[in-house]
Amino acid sequence: MAACKPSQKAAQPTATTTQKGKKVLSEEESINLNYLFVNANKEKILGNPEKAAELFAQCIRIDGGNHAAMFELAKIYLDQKKINDAIFFARTAYQIDPKNTWYRLFLAELLMATKKSAEGEAIYAALVKEYPHNVDYAFKFASALLYNGKIQEAIKVYDKVEEEIGVNQDLIIEKERLWLRLGKIDKAAAEVEKLIAKEPLELKNYSLLVELYQVNNLPEKAFETIGRMQQVNSSSPYVYLALAEYYRSNNQKDKSFEQLKLAFASKELEQDLKIKIISSYLPIVQGNPEMLEQSLVLAKIMAETHANDPVSLAIYGDFLTIDQKFEAAQQQYMASLAIDSKNVMIWQQLLICQSQINDLPGMLKSSEEALSLFPEQSVFYLFNGVALTNAKRNEEAIKSFLAGSKLVVDNDDQLKEFYTRLADCYNTLKQFDESDKYFDKALKLDPNDPLVLNNYSYYLSLRKANLEKAETMSKRSNELRPNQASYEDTYGWILFVMGKYEEAEKWLQKALDNGGANNGTILEHMGDVNFKLGKTEKALDFWNRAKLAGDASDLIDQKIMDKKFYE
C-alpha cells in the first residue's frame, strides 16, 4: 500500500496503539484511518500530490503516531521542494519507529542534501554498525565521511567493504584517489599493487600504476613498472601506450609518437580508448600543423585497423575535413554510412563535404537518401533544396525549403537560411511578392545580416522597385561589411538606377579597388555609369574588359557593337 514496502510495519498504517500513554483508536477511527490511508495512496498514484498530502495529514490527525503516513507525507513534501517540512515528518516517523531502515535512509539522505551532514553521518554509522555486512550502507557511510572531510575514516570503511567483496577495481581506484588526496603516493601505489597481485597478467592494472607515477613526477618508478609490463607481454598495446606517455613526459616527442602509432595499429587495444586518445587532439589541431598531421596519421591507422567500424571511418573523415581535404573526407563518410546508415551526424558531415567541393549531383543524391531515413531533420531539406536550386529545379526546391522551414526548432540562423533561399527561388521564378515576403521574414529574424540586405536590395534594383528601401538596405550592408566588392557594386548599381551617376561611379570604383577588377558584372556596371556620364570611350573600354572577364549580361555584345547603353 505504501510506495516503499520493506516490511509490514512500514507499509501499514497504525490503526491502533497499545503502548502506555498512547491513545487507543476506536473501531470507527480505525476504519476511517484505513480508508483515508488507502485513498491517500490512490491519489498519490494518480498524480494528485496535493490531495494525497491532505489525506495523509488527516490520517495523522486521527492517529498522531502513524509513522507510515508521516513517511509518505515527507516524500510528497520532498517532491514539492518543501525540504524543511519533509525533514520534519521524516524525522518524526524515524523517532516513532527508529528501527525502520527505510525511514532512516530517507532521513539521512535528506540531511546530507541540506548540509546537516553530521546528523546524516551518524545515522549511516548506526546502520553500518547494525548491519556490518551490508555493502550499500557502507558506501553511503563512506560518502558521508568524505562529505565531512574524514578521508582516512572513509578509507577504513572501504577496507571493510573490500573484506566483504574482495579486491575490486572500482574500489581500488577510489582508494587510490583518496590516498593521493592525502599526499600518500606509496599508499596509493600499494592499492594498485593489489590489483596487479590479483591479475598479474592483466596489463591494464600496470598501466594504472604507470599513470600514477607519471602524474606524480616519479619517472624512474614509471619506467620500472613499464619494464614489468614488458616482462609479461612486450608486444602489448598497453606497453606501447605506457612508453608513449613516458617519452612524452620526458619531451621525447618523436619516440612518443612512434609508440602511439604502434598502439593504434593493434587490434588488441580497445577502440573506445583509441577514440578517447584521438578525440583529445580535437581542441589542439586548429592552427597547429604538427598536431593536425599527427592526428591524421593516427586516425588513418585506426580507420585501416578497424576498416569495418563506421565510427573509426567517420573520425578519420572528421580530421580530413578539418584539414580541408573534403574529397578524401567524403570517401570516408560514404564508407562509414555503407556500414551503418543510421548516424545522422555522419550524413550531415557528408553533405557539408559535398557542398564544399561543389558536388551538386552527389549532394542531391545524399540529401534524398538522408531524408528517406530522417524525414524530421530540417537540415537535410536545406541541403536538398540547395542542390535542387543549382539543378534549376526551383519549384521542387521551394517545396523542400518550405517543408524544412516548418521543422526548425529554436534555430533562428537555420530558419533565416530557409527564408533567404526561398526568397532567391521565388525571385528566379519572378514571383516577386513571395520573394519580398521571405526576404522580409529573414530580416525580421536578423535585421543586420549583410548578405540578406545586399541580395534583397540588388533584386529590387533590377526590378526598379522600392528603390529608396533598396538604397537604405544596401548602404547598411556596406556599413556592416565594408570593403566588400560585391556589396559596393550593389550600392553603386542602385545609385545608378536612381540616376545618381557620379555617386554610383565612386562606389563602383571602390568595388574595382577591393577585388572586383576582374569581375565581369562590376566592369560592365562601370561601363554603364561612364556612358551615362558621357564618357563613351571609357565606357567601351570597361565593356570590352567585362566581356573578356565573363559574367557580363547578354547585352554586352550589343553595347560594344553600338557603343551604346542598353537595359
Give per-residue pLDDT as tens, 473-528.
999 999 999 999 999 999 999 999 999 999 999 999 999 999 999 999 999 999 99
pLDDT of residue 6: 36
Q: What is the CB-side half-sphere exposure of residue 326 using CA atoms within 13 A? A: 12
Residue 417 maps to a domain: yes
What are 522's three cell numbers? 562590376
pLDDT of residue 127: 95
Mean pLDDT of the 24-35 span: 88
pLDDT of residue 29: 87
- Per the listing, cell 538596405 goes with 473
pLDDT of residue 14: 41
The percent of residues above 90 in pLDDT, for the chain, comes to 91
Sequence-ordered list of residues with C-beta below 8 angstroms from that of 431, at least 6 positions apart, any chain: none
Residue 412 maps to a domain: yes
362 and 441 both lie in a single domain: yes
Which of 417, 445, 473 terminates a domain? The answer is 445
pLDDT of residue 15: 40
Helix, strand or coil, per DSSP, at residue 69: helix
pLDDT of residue 363: 97
* 26 pLDDT above the threshold of 90: no
Count of domains observed in the chain: 3
Angle at 393 between CA 392 and CA 397, to 5 degrees: 120
422 and 481 both lie in a single domain: no
Phi, psi of 114 (to 5 degrees): -105, 20
DSSP string computed for 127-164:
HHHH-TT-HHHHHHHHHHHHHTT-HHHHHHHHHHHHHH
- Per the listing, cell 524530421 goes with 376
Confidence of residue 25 (pLDDT cuts 50, 70, 90): confident
* 3 pLDDT above the threshold of 90: no
If one compares 464 and 287, the residue with the highest pLDDT of the two is: 464
Residue 343 maps to a domain: no
Structural contact between residues 449 and 416, judged by C-beta atoms closer than 8 angstroms: yes
**What is the distance between the alpha carbons of residues 454 and 520, in angstroms, rounded to a whole number?**
18
Which of 445, 472, 493 terminates a domain? The answer is 445
**Of 72-76, 94-98, 281-285, 437-441, minimum mean pLDDT range:** 281-285
481 and 497 both lie in a single domain: yes
If one compares 300 and 283, the residue with the highest pLDDT of the two is: 300
**What is the distance between the alpha carbons of residues 404 and 377, in angstroms, rounded to a whole number?**
8
**What is the distance between the alpha carbons of residues 83 and 67, in angstroms, rounded to a whole number?**
18
What are 320's three cell numbers? 580530413
By C-alpha distance, which of 361, 388, 384, 386 is closest to 374?
384
Sequence-ordered list of residues with C-beta below 8 angstroms from that of 85, at least 6 positions apart, any chain: 74, 77
Residue 544 maps to a domain: yes
478 and 526 both lie in a single domain: no
441 and 455 both lie in a single domain: no
Residue 409 maps to a domain: yes
pTM summary value: 0.74
Residue 169 maps to a domain: no
Mean pLDDT of the 87-97 span: 94
364 and 428 both lie in a single domain: yes
557 and 531 both lie in a single domain: yes
* 21 pLDDT above the threshold of 70: no
What are 381's three cell numbers? 531539406
413 and 456 both lie in a single domain: no
Residue type, 382: L
**What is the distance between the alpha carbons of residues 29 and 44, in angstroms, rounded to a whole number?**
22
Residue 375 maps to a domain: yes
Mean pLDDT of the 445-470 span: 96
Write the Ramachandran bin of 531: left for phi over 0, alpha for psi from -120 to 50, otherwise beta.
Answer: alpha
* 1 pLDDT above the threshold of 50: no
Mean of all residue pLDDT scores within the chain: 93
Mean pLDDT of the 32-52 span: 92
Confidence of residue 22 (pLDDT cuts 50, 70, 90): low
Domain coverage including residue 404: 358-445
Sequence-ordered list of residues with C-beta below 8 angstroms from that of 546, at least 6 positions apart, any chain: 520, 521, 523, 524, 527, 552, 556
CATH number at residue 388: 1.25.40.10
Mean pLDDT of the 146-172 span: 95
- How far from each other are the two terminal CA atoms of the chain, in whole angstroms? 87
Mean pLDDT of the 147-167 span: 95
Confidence of residue 10 (pLDDT cuts 50, 70, 90): very low
362 and 414 both lie in a single domain: yes
Angle at 427 between CA 421 and CA 429, to 5 degrees: 110
* 116 pLDDT above the threshold of 50: yes
Dihedral of alpha carbons 463, 464, 469, 471, sign? positive
Residue 271 maps to a domain: no
418 and 388 both lie in a single domain: yes
**What is the distance between the alpha carbons of residues 352 and 338, in angstroms, rounded to a whole number?**
18
535 and 485 both lie in a single domain: no
Write the Ramachandran bin of 499: left for phi over 0, alpha for psi from -120 to 50, otherwise beta.
Answer: left
496 and 453 both lie in a single domain: yes
